[in-house]
Amino acid sequence: MENHKSTQLSSQKRTLIFICLVVSGIASSTLATAMTTALPNVVEYFGISTSVGQWITSGYSLAMGVVMPLTAFLITRFPTKKLYLTGIGSFILGLLISIFAGNFGIMMAGRVLQACGNGILMSAAQVVILTVYPIEKRGTMMGTYGLATTAAPIIAPTIAGLMIDAFGWKSIFYVVLVIMAFSFILSALVFEDVLELQDKKFDFISFVESIIAFGGITLGIGNLTSFGLISIEGGLPLAVGIVVCIFFVVRQWGLEKPFLDVKILKNKNYAISVISSMLLYLVMMGSSVMMPLYVQSVMGYSAVVSGLVTLPGSLATAVISPLAGKMYDKMGIKKLFVIGSAALIISNIGMTFLTLDTPLWTAAILNVIRNLSIGSLMMPLLTWGTSNVELKKVADASSMLTSFRTIAGSVGSAVFVGIMAVVSESSAAAYGDRALIHGMNISFLWMAAGALILLLISIFGVRKTLEQKGRPY
pLDDT-based confidence at 226, cuts 50/70/90? low
Contact indicator for 115, 138 with CB cutoff of 8 Å: no
C-alpha span between 263 and 160 (Å, rounded): 41
Residue 257 CB neighbour total at 10 angstroms? 12
Contact indicator for 334, 448 with CB cutoff of 8 Å: no
Mean pLDDT of 104-129: 87
Q: In whole angstroms, how far apart are CA 391 and each of 133, 316, 457? A: 12, 33, 26
Between these two residues, 373 and 429, which has the higher pLDDT value? Answer: 373
Query: For residue 229, is pLDDT > 70?
Result: no
Sign of the C-alpha dihedral computed for residues 399, 401, 404 and 410 taken in this order? negative
Q: What is the pLDDT of residues 183-195, one digit of tens each?
A: 999 999 988 887 7
Q: Which positions ≥6 away from 5 have C-beta within 8 Å?
A: 192, 193, 194, 195, 196
How high is the mean pLDDT of the chain? Answer: 83
Most confident segment among 156-165, 270-279, 411-420: 270-279
Mean pLDDT of 45-52: 80
Residue closest to 310 by CA, chosen among 375, 377, 372, 365: 365
pLDDT in the model for residue 125: 85
Query: For residue 469, is pLDDT > 70?
Result: no
pLDDT in the model for residue 225: 60
Residue closest to 370 by CA, chosen among 223, 159, 157: 157
**pTM (2 d.p.):** 0.76
Sign of the C-alpha dihedral computed for residues 68, 69, 74 and 75 taken in this order? positive
pLDDT in the model for residue 366: 94
pLDDT in the model for residue 96: 94
pLDDT in the model for residue 453: 95
Q: What is the pLDDT of residues 60-115, one digit of tens each?
A: 877 876 787 788 788 888 888 999 999 999 999 999 999 998 888 899 999 999 98
Q: What share of the chain has pLDDT > 70, as a percent?
A: 92
pLDDT-based confidence at 332, cuts 50/70/90? confident
Mean pLDDT of 365-381: 90
